[in-house]
Amino acid sequence: MIFTSIPFFLFFISFAFLYYIFPLRFRWVWILASSLFFYMYGNPYSIIIIASIIFVTWFCALRMEKGPSEKVTPYFLFAIIINIALLVFFKYANFFTSTVFDLTNIVNTQVFHAGAPYSNPFILNVIAPLGLSYVTFQAIGYLIEIKRGNHKAEGNIGYLSTFLLFFPKIIAGPVERAHHILPQLKQYKPFNYDNISKGLKLIIWGLFKKLVIADRLSIYVDAVLDNAGHHSGTSISIAVIFYVFQMYADFSGYTDMALGISKVLGFDLLQNFNRPLLAKSITEFWRKWHISLSTWFADYFYTPIAISKRDWGIWSVVYAFFITFITLGFWHGANWTFVVFGALQGFILTIEFFTRKARKNMRKKIPPLLNNIIGTIFTVGYFALSLIFFRASSVKDSLIIIRRIFTIKGPVYIENPTIILFSLLGIFFLALIELKREYFDTLFNISTNRHWFIRNCYYCFLLLAILIAGVFDGGEFIYFQF
Amino acid sequence: MSKILTQIVTQRGYLYLLKKLAAFMVLFILFDFIIGSFFRYLYFRQTSGWEFRTKYSVEDTRADILIFGASRAQQQYNPIFFEERLHQTCYNVGRDGQPIFYYYGILNGVLRRYSPKMIFLDIENGVFNSEQSSYDRIGVLLPFYKTHAEMRQVIELKSPYEKMKLQSSIYPFNSLLFKIAVGNTKFNKNRNEDIKGYIPLSGELHEPIRTVSFLNQHVLDTNKINVYRSFINDCIKHHIKLYIVCSPYYMKTIGTDTSISIAKKIAHENNVDFIDYSKDELFLTNSTLFDDTVHVNVAGARIFSNKLIDNILVKE
Amino acid sequence: MEKPEILAQLNTIFIDIADNENIRLNEMSSAGNVEGWDSLTHIQLVVAIEKYFKIRFTSKEIQSWKNVGELMDSIAAKVSE
């Protein structure tokens, strides 16, 4: 069930209604039951894998705390290995078998099979359980915190399960911390009008970003980038820039919905996006983009690596950058393109790291407005470039796309002007809101206006915009006949 | 229990929330109705464009001969020849990219008003393949849901939640804002040549013929097959002379597409003519008659339309 | 070594590494409220502190500090050894 579907809408309404009728003490049980239902809807069996992860994590954490001190490390390692092994198996089994297969290049198909997808006979068709990597990351974070002695192990497996399975964050995060959620689960959460109002507003804003902006942009992006060989450099450049906004609207929209849903229930989840496209460098960008994941990597991956290699001086940081971002890239999916995506981040972060004093001095000589504009253009531009690798199906395809951008001249592809118009309007509106929040936060308050009518008109407008311009299904499409 | 009661009566409790939500809903429904009505007004007074063609097919055409299908109807059957040689009026109601649900929806709209004398239904490879996009594309018929009860059955196939979504007055016109606006201007008329629904293609294909295998079976959609049967039955019931046609392809085939075999079989069961041009030598050997491998160009359309009419004249 | 002395030295190191003249550390200062102190400069700070005070921290110690106060406790303990 994705948040933008009607089944989820019905599920959530009935769930939230019953949630506030449940006795305060047992509301977490209701959350757990509903999360299980949400998780098992569609594919009931993968819960077995998640349940084993939860059990191992819970058990080992307790043993680490209660058992003799020489047993701490074995239990810790065992739990970590189980977590990582399952993640690696489910996410990457296909990747490794297909890499071997591609290298050996056994089959060569002569005849084009109408409608039948070309299938690799050696691929194990392994389907990863929903939200596996989120559960694993959160479990690992929990174990490390206990190992470091920063937090107590949770005795009640019910609480731990509710934390790991909490349905608003299971599909796309944020990557939560146990010590951020567990205390909230144990807190009594009485009905609170402000929470519900704030939560619903966030959900509407997230829906708007996802349906009106992201899904709209994806129509043009898919049409051009999936057939890049037929398009001019200009069209590809537009599609690539659109893709940056699509990614942002899609991901942050979905996160806003997750935060909103949790808020309705009285929970605060971690902030995941802080207007990243207005960052003035890629370093700053990564502090504002998917924050819960980048801080997770900073705490449990980057910092330990950099500290252990600190005798290398400044190179320890560079080393840690590359290892961290290549891993982060690879986590997105089993494909070399993600490795390149990660390496590109490591590369630019290194350069920014070495030039930061010089850039700081330079900034003092440039007017702030110009400085902001240059910074934003650079951030969006570089991120767009790296996203070409993120999106393409192979490194070779990405390089072809980049070459076309610079070599193939031609008109902008406009098969369906409606889509371009809606796309530009969407980006314009998103930029307007982000700029306002970043630079003029106290001016023209519409969404938080003190007049009830104006506030409500704003949210009505967002909902109406979804009905007018949201993408509900493939109803609007670009029809290709190459 | 007492806790819950306090929550209900306290100032910012459940009742307060319900009151606020209700006020918001009233505002929202009001806006939805006003904007939706405006869209409806604009939609039905369009004079050009794709949406206009659909609206014209459902509400206006009174042609004796109608041609149904997707792009392979719209871009290959030139009504001028049908009119000249069969001495009857003709309109091409084909629409690019549309599945069989669309053809049947339009047929229902037409049959409410009158019975055409003759119908050509163009069927293509994979017409019964199970594809989600076919259901999504029923969306273009949503504007007719409110006023055309006869089309509701097809429209409701779109998804189990369609009735719910159609509570909104704006929803049927989702994504149509700019198209409807342009449809009210003369812009489209200068853009596409539209000859009684036929849209000529001007390209010319120059490439060797390729081979397509139909040995791999596709999953079929029983809804589509049932709609196809209904289409045939409705034509028989209204005494319409129906021809089902598979128009030319520029490709060699291994085996036969399952959809086409089934379509043929059902046509025969109902004593409806099924005319197959997909293996016509003239077209298979002349790439210059095509715009791409599945659509003939202007010249190809002239030859194809006339060949089909020859065939009909012989049969009559 | 007395706490105020350590704090003064730390302040000098922080100003140098974080490239921020305005840093005025106190016991409650942390990465969250000192501009220029982030996961990138953190490593450089650790290296500089170790060098200046001629001490060596364990990884566990480095990851356990929540603010400057705890950092100073660690330094004081190491220096007096």
Does A468 contact B174 at a Cβ distance shorter than 8 Å? yes
**Does residue B73 contact residue B122 with C-beta atoms inside 8 Å?**
yes
pLDDT at B305 over 90: yes
Is the CB of B213 less than 8 angstroms away from the CB of A470?
Answer: no
Nearest residue to B73 (alpha-carbon basis) of B191, B250, B245, B189:
B245
For residue B7, pLDDT beyond 60: no
Q: 3-state secondary structure string, chain A?
A: CCCCCHHHHHHHHHHHHHHCCCCHHHHHHHHHHHHHHHHHCCCHHHHHHHHHHHHHHHHHHHHHHHCCHHHHHHHHHHHHHHHHHHHHHHHHHHHHHHHHHHHHCCCCCCCEECCCCCCCCCCCCCCCCCCHHHHHHHHHHHHHHHHCCCCCCCCCHHHHHHHHHCHHHCCCCCCCCHHHHHHHHHCCCCCCHHHHHHHHHHHHHHHHHHHHHHHHHHHHHHHHHCCHHHCCHHHHHHHHHHHHHHHHHHHHHHHHHHHHHHHHCCCCCCCCCCCHHHCCCHHHHHHHCCHHHHHHHHHHHHHHHHHHCHHHCHHHHHHHHHHHHHHHHHHHCCCHHHHHHHHHHHHHHHHHHHCHHHHHHHHHHCCHHHHHHHHHHHHHHHHHHHHHHHHCCCHHHHHHHHHHHHHCCCCCCCCCHHHHHHHHHHHHHHHHHHHHHHHCCCCCCCCCCCCHHHHHHHHHHHHHHHHHHCCCCCCCCCCCCC
- The string of pLDDT tens digits covering residues C13-67 is 888 887 777 778 777 877 777 777 777 778 888 888 888 888 888 877 887 787 8
Q: Which residues, in sequence order, are bridge partners of residue B275?
A: B245
Q: What are B262's two structure tokens?
A: 């089934």
At residue B226, the pLDDT reads 94
> Could you give the percent of chain B with pLDDT greater than 70?
95
- For residue A441, give the amino acid letter: D
CB atoms within 10 A of CB B196: 17
Whether residue A216 is predicted with pLDDT greater than 80 in this model: the reply is yes
Q: Length of chain B in residues, anyone? A: 316
**Is the pLDDT at B142 greater than 90, yes or no?**
yes
C63 CB neighbours in chain A (<8 A) are: 148, 303-304, 307
Given A283, A317, A356, which is nearest C43 (Cβ)?
Answer: A317
Distance between CA A53 and CA A426 in Å, rounded? 41
Helical axes C39-53 vs C68-80, angle rounded to 10°:
30
Chains A and B touch (3+ CB pairs under 8 A): yes
Interface of B with A in 220-239 (CB under 8 A): none
**Which tokens hold the place of A260?**
């909103």
- Band of the pLDDT at B61, cuts 50, 70, 90? very high
**Residue A382 is encoded by which pair of tokens?**
């570089």
Sign of CA dihedral A406, A411, A412, A415: negative
Tell whether C62 is within 8 A of chain A (Cβ).
Answer: yes
Question: Please, how many CA atoms are within 13 Å of residue A406, restricted to the half-sphere of its CB?
Answer: 6
Q: What is the pLDDT of residues A102-131, one digit of tens each?
A: 544 443 333 333 333 344 444 455 667 778
| pLDDT at res. C36 | 72
Q: What is the pLDDT of residues A299-329, one digit of tens each?
A: 898 888 888 888 887 888 889 889 998 988 8
CA-based nearest residue in chain B for residue A17: B14
Strands B295-296 and B290-292, by their bridges, are: antiparallel
- What pLDDT, on the 0 to 100 scale, is given for residue B102? 94
B296 membership: H or E segment, kind and range: strand B295-296
Q: Does C63 touch chain A (CB under 8 A)?
A: yes
Contact assignment for C59 to A316 by CB distance below 8 Å: no
Nearest-by-CA chain A residue for B163: A6
SS3 B149: helix
Give the pLDDT confidence score for residue B72 in this predicted structure: 92
In sequence order, what are the residues at sequence separation of 6 or more whose Cβ sits closer than 8 angstroms to the Cβ of residue A258? A3, A168, A169, A171, A172, A173, A174, A206, A269
Identify which of B263, B269, B225, B220 has the alpha carbon closest to the alpha carbon of residue B244: B263
Q: Do chains C and B touch (3 or more CB pairs under 8 A)?
A: no
**A475 contacts in B (CB within 8 Å)?**
136-137, 139-140, 174-175
Name the more confident of A102 and A246. A246
Q: Tell me whether residues A310 and C46 touch, CB distance under 8 A.
A: yes
Taking residue A366's Cβ as centre, other Cβ atoms within 10 Å add up to: 13
Q: Which two tokens stand for residue A431?
A: 């930029």
More confident position, B232 or A173: B232
Spatial distance between the Cα atoms of B265 and B242, rounded to a whole number of angstroms = 15
Weakest mean pLDDT among A92-96, B239-243, B285-289: A92-96
Residue among A303, A313, A317 minimizing CB distance to C63: A303
Rg (alpha carbons) of chain A, rounded to whole number: 24
Q: Is the pLDDT of residue A242 over 90?
A: yes
> What's the ipTM?
0.84
Record: contact C43-A307, CB cut-off 8 A: yes
pLDDT at B228 over 90: yes
CA distance B64 to chain A (A): 31
Q: Following DSSP, what letter does each residue of C12-72 receive, concatenated?
A: HHHHHHHT-TT----TT--TTTSTT-SHHHHHHHHHHHHHHHT----HHHHHH--SHHHHH
Instruction: Give the H or E element holding residue B246.
Output: strand B241-246
Mean pLDDT (whole number) for A356-365: 82
- Pairing state of beta strands B241-246 and B273-276? parallel
Q: Read off the tokens for B296.
A: 């003939």
> Whole-number mean pLDDT of chain B?
89
**A376-395 residues touching C, CB cutoff 8 A:** none
- Min CA distance, A183 vs chain C (Å)? 20
Is B80 an interface residue toward A (CB < 8 Å)?
no
Task: Give the pLDDT of residue A113.
Answer: 36
Residue A120: CB partners within 8 Å, gap ≥ 6?
A: A98, A101, A107
CB C63 to CB A307 under 8 A?
A: yes
User: Is residue A427 within 8 Å of residue A245, measured between CB atoms?
Assistant: yes
Contact between chains at B177 and A459 (C-beta distance less than 8 A): no
> Which tokens hold the place of B4?
């819950």
> How much is the pLDDT for A123?
47
Name the residue facing A115 among B12, B16, B129 (closest C-beta): B129
Give dist(CA B315, CA C11) in Å, integer. 100
Strand, helix or coil for residue B47? coil
Nearest chain C Cα distance for residue A149, angstroms: 9
pLDDT of A408 > 60? The answer is yes
Residue A94: which pLDDT band, with cuts at 50, 70 and 90? low
Q: Is the pLDDT of residue B10 over 60?
A: no
- Given phi > 0 = left and psi -120 to 50 = alpha, else beta, which region is A409? beta
Domain boundaries defined on chain C? 3-80
- The Cβ of residue A451 has, within 10 Å, a number of other Cβ atoms equal to 10
Length of chain A in terms of residues written: 482
Query: What is the rounded CA–CA span in Å between residue A351 and residue A382?
Result: 13
Q: How confident is the model at residue A262 (pLDDT cuts 50, 70, 90)?
A: very high
Residues B139, B158: Cα–Cα separation, whole Å: 7
Q: Using only the alpha carbons of chain C, give its radius of gyration.
A: 11
Is B32 touching A (CB cutoff 8 A)?
Answer: yes
Cβ neighbours of B133 in A, within 8 Å: 474, 477
Write down the pLDDT at residue B189. 65
pLDDT at C15: 83
Taking CA atoms, what residue in B is nearest to A479? B97
> Cβ(A265)–Cβ(A287) under 8 Å?
no
A361 pLDDT above the threshold of 70: yes
Provide CB contacts within 8 A for B294, sequence distance 6+: A481, B72, B124, B249, B250, B251
Of B12, B97, B213, the CB nearest to A193: B12
Backbone angles phi, psi at B61, to 5 degrees: -60, 140
Contacts of A189 in chain B (CB under 8 A): none
**Phi/psi of residue B292, nearest 5 degrees:** -145, -175
Q: Which residue(s) pair with B246 in the sheet?
A: B276
The amino acid that residue B207 corresponds to is: E
pLDDT value for A482? 38
State the Cα–Cα distance between residues B131 and B149, nearest whole angstrom: 26
∠ CA A297-A298-A302, nearest 5°, is 90
Distance CA C63, CA C66 (A): 8
Q: Do A474 and B179 touch (CB under 8 A)?
A: no
CA distance between the termini of chain C? 11
Write out chain B residues lying below 8 Å of A422, CB-based.
175, 177-178
CB B231 within 8 A of CB B103: yes
Task: Show which subunits contact A, needing at least 3 CB pairs below 8 angstroms.
Answer: B, C
Report whether A49 contacts A129 (CB < 8 A).
yes
Mean pLDDT of A385-402: 88
- pLDDT digits 0-9 by tens, A146-205: 888 788 888 889 899 999 999 998 888 799 998 898 888 888 878 888 889 999 999 999
Q: Nearest-CA distance from C15 to chain A in Å?
A: 13
The yes or no reply on domain C3-80 and CATH 1.10.1200.10 is yes
Contacts of C40 in chain A (CB under 8 A): 283, 317, 353
Peptide bond into A183 cis (omega under 30): no
- Mapped onto helix, strand or coil, the DSSP state of residue B161 is coil
DSSP H helix total and E strand total for chain B:
15, 9
Q: Given pLDDT bands bounded at 50, 70 and 90, which one contains residue A98?
A: low
Average pLDDT over residues A23-40: 87
Q: What is the pLDDT of residue A448?
A: 78
Long-range contacts of A260-263 (CB under 8 A, 24+ apart): A260/A198, A260/A199, A260/A200, A260/A201, A260/A202, A260/A203, A260/A204, A260/A205, A260/A206, A261/A3, A261/A12, A261/A168, A261/A199, A261/A203, A262/A166, A262/A168, A262/A169, A262/A199, A263/A195, A263/A196, A263/A198, A263/A199, A263/A202
